[in-house]
Amino acid sequence: MAEQRFRKAWVVGSIPTIGSMAKYSLLARKEEKRNLRKAAFFTLLTIVFAVAIVVWGIPALIKMAVFFGELRSSNLPVESQDNLPPQPPILEPLPTATNQAEIQVSGITEAGAAVKIYLTGGGVKEVVADNEGQFSFSGLKLTSGRNEIYAIASDQAGNQSPASQKMIIWYDNEAPSLEINEPADGTVVTEDAGKVKISGQTDPEASLLINDHLVILDKEGNFSYNLGLSVGENKILILAKDQAGNQSEKTLTVNFSP
């Protein structure tokens, strides 16, 4: 009897019940419907891409792919905090000296950054870089002598860059000195060689031209030059020019009568 009860219990336990079979059938139908919906979606998507290729060509397919990529990326979390400072601005080269009281300072930095231009003895000027990071400020007033210029950029998050490379420019609006020792204006040369010696002084840093001929100065600015003459009246232009562009000139008349 005990053996029969054991066998009966084993047989009953091994056979699925009606409830479990119904539950399994319901899950199977749900899974089948889910697979059918996925298949229908991908079939529709394939048809849309095929139509897009036929009607608009491959470029339209690429645009659609980019659109879906951007749509997906737009759902990604965006980091809201910006702690990275911009790179130091790069200033365009300036002349080492000028005779202009105002200059223009230009350069490049991070796009949209606020750029402060610092001038020793002349305060601070501010300008905003454009969409390409370029900026320019005209009318920067120089002080007489040595001027030091540099810039610092700040981005929209308030991060500040290190200072740019410092640039030095000298402001000088005074013409160089120019003295002629010989010859005197109106001199008459009668020697057969047909030359006249021109000597004098100017600033040591200046350049000197005599009738467009470059003349070498010594360390104190003294010069001496023998100029060939033509028969008759000779006009001699002596021009001294400094690094800032200031110049002094004198004109002599020398007559050659061999």
Please indicate, yes or no, whether residues 159 and 186 belong to a single structural domain of this protein. Answer: no
Query: What pLDDT score was predicted for residue 196?
Result: 95
Best CA proximity match to 129, nearest among 116, 140, 142: 116
Residue 42 neighbours by CB under 8 Å, 6+ apart: none
Contact in structure between 101 and 141 (CB atoms under 8 Å): yes
Query: What pLDDT score was predicted for residue 36?
Result: 75
Residue 79 lies inside a defined structural domain of this protein: no
Residue 1 lies inside a defined structural domain of this protein: no
**Alpha-carbon dihedral 158, 162, 165, 169, rounded to 10 degrees:** 60
Overall average pLDDT of the 121-139 stretch: 91
**Residue that wins the pLDDT comparison between 130 and 34:** 130
Determine the structural domain holding residue 62 and report its residue range: 19-74
Please indicate, yes or no, whether residues 52 and 110 belong to a single structural domain of this protein. Answer: no
- Please count the structural domains in the chain: 3
Contact in structure between 106 and 139 (CB atoms under 8 Å): no
Residue 184 lies inside a defined structural domain of this protein: yes
Best CA proximity match to 181, nearest among 195, 206, 202: 202
The three-class DSSP label of residue 254 is strand
Q: Whole-prediction pTM value?
A: 0.60
